[in-house]
């Protein structure tokens, strides 16, 4: 079942085309990684999917529903793109209770779910009596990710979730995401420059350049070699691909 469907999506900024996707779809329970250099259009794509920016042409459907027409699709989606998704003047527990309350969870349910991430938090987040704005970038990232996961969404969208995380936290995050994908059948769509971690968890990789998907591939050793060659600047993606 297709849960995200994109068709004829175009976006221009100051006359420059920044997004050009004739079609793209994600199935329920899939784990898809979007990668590409800075400026490739990854964040613009995510913001279009979440109805945070208006495309110049085309449409995005979630569970068969145009995101521009109705808000009920939001009940099934959780996303963290950047720190603007946080509320800096709240303490961590206040923020989690606020997010969980939007999903009609009780305080006990919220606390139980949050406590399940205690190892991921590494005793640096809960019970600190700090405002979110005063945490490090890495811990803000953890707060944002967990605020999504406590909702147990059917669709999860994360933009550069490994950014600012230490190596141990990155490994732990992969384990957490695999758990949600397997046990909750969560559709996960994330972007990352970290090819190594992407290859450890994703089923499908999309390579983005100049606003378009220039290569779509299944997770394999061949794909890893292709991506490494591409990011090392060893010719175009087509030249690289034709080597195999």
Is a pLDDT exceeding 80 seen at residue 240? Answer: no
pLDDT in tens, 102-135: 999 999 999 999 999 999 999 999 999 899 999 9
pLDDT in tens, 205-229: 999 999 999 999 999 999 999 999 9
Report the percent of the chain where pLDDT is more than 90.
89
CB-CB neighbours of 54 under 10 Å:
9
- pLDDT for position 236: 52
pLDDT in tens, 25-79: 999 999 999 999 999 999 999 999 999 999 999 999 999 999 999 899 999 999 9
Of residues 149 and 235, the one with the higher pLDDT is 149
**Whole-number Å distance between alpha carbons of 191 and 209:** 13
Got the DSSP string for 163-200? TT--HHHHHHHHHHHHHHHHHS--EEEEE-S-HHHHHH
Residues 6+ positions from 34 with CB-CB distance below 8 Å: 42, 45, 189, 190, 191, 192, 205, 206, 208
Confidence of residue 242 (pLDDT cuts 50, 70, 90): very low
Fold of 2-241: Rossmann fold (3.40.50)
**Whole-number Å distance between alpha carbons of 74 and 127:** 30
* Of the candidates 142, 149, 80, the residue with the CA atom closest to the CA atom of residue 113: 149
Report the percent of the chain where pLDDT is more than 70.
95
- pLDDT for position 244: 38
Of residues 235 and 153, the one with the higher pLDDT is 153
**Whole-number Å distance between alpha carbons of 188 and 53:** 21
């Amino acid at each position: 079942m297709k849960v995200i469907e994109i068709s004829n999506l175009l976006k221009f900024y100051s006359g420059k085309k920044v997004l050009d996707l004739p079609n793209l779809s994600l199935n329920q329970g899939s784990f898809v990684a979007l990668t590409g250099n800075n400026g490739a259009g990854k964040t613009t794509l995510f913001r279009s999917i979440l109805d945070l920016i208006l495309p110049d042409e085309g449409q995005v459907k979630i569970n068969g529903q145009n995101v521009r027409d109705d808000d009920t699709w939001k009940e099934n989606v959780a996303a963290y793109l950047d720190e603007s998704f946080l509320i800096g003047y709240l303490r961590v527990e206040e923020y989690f209770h606020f997010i969980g309350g939007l999903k009609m969870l009780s305080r006990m349910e919220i606390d139980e779910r949050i406590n399940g991430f205690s190892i991921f938090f590494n005793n640096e987040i809960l019970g600190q009596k700090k405002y979110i704005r005063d945490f490090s970038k890495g811990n803000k990232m953890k707060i944002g990710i967990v605020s999504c996961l406590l909702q147990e969404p059917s669709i999860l969208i994360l933009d550069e979730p490994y950014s600012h995380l230490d190596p141990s936290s990155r490994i732990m995050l992969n384990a957490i995401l695999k758990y949600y994908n397997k046990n909750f059948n969560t559709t996960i769509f994330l972007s990352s420059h970290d090819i190594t971690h992407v290859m450890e968890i994703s089923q499908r990789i999309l390579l983005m350049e100049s606003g378009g998907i220039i290569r779509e591939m299944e997770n394999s050793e061949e794909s890893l070699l292709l991506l490494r060659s591409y990011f090392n600047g060893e010719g175009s993606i087509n030249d690289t691909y034709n080597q195999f």
